[in-house]
Copies of this chain bind each other. A is one copy, B any other.
């Protein structure tokens, strides 16, 4: 059995993880974003391994590890997805749009003209954040009533596996 990790109240498979450090994880997202004028943009999440809801709950060591991870992942993901910039957002608490009560940083490669209005990306993030909780729940309940087709575990595993090769990893969580 492949190892599982915790994302809020839900379990995620090691196959969906593309980055691991001592205290953080990099995770591919459940549904691709499809902006109007560009091809699919996949974006990633970076989270502490310990399940805590708020940024303020992190220890100093976790803050360092989380943002060093984000720093490393940002550079690689921007290059890999041929981005020119990055949107980096932490919805810290439910009133900021957070749906999964586990600190997570959104990292989205951006290109000129990818959204008609630059900040439309946040409508997408908001939408995807809502879907994130649903999708994690669905994976647990195996019920899917949503219109937009989520990615298959195979799709996600395949993307995570490709990304994984681009990073030095703190440990091997992927061998069966």
A residues adjacent to B (C-beta < 8 A)? 55-56, 58, 60, 63-64, 66-68, 71, 74-75, 78, 83-98, 110-112, 114, 117-119, 121-123, 125-126
> Do A63 and B58 touch across chains, with their CB atoms under 8 A apart?
no
Leading 8 A-B pairs by shortest Cβ distance: A85-B93, A122-B122, A85-B95, A85-B96, A119-B126, A67-B67, A86-B92, A88-B90
* Smallest CB separation, A100 vs chain B (Å): 14
Q: Given the known inter-chain contacts A110-B93, A112-B95, please indicate yes or no for A55 contacting B84, CB distance below 8 A.
A: no
Query: How many protomers of this protein does the assembly include?
Result: 2
- Provide 9 A-B residue pairs closer than 8 Å at the C-beta atoms, listed in order of the A residue: A55-B74, A67-B67, A89-B89, A95-B110, A95-B118, A96-B110, A96-B118, A97-B119, A122-B123
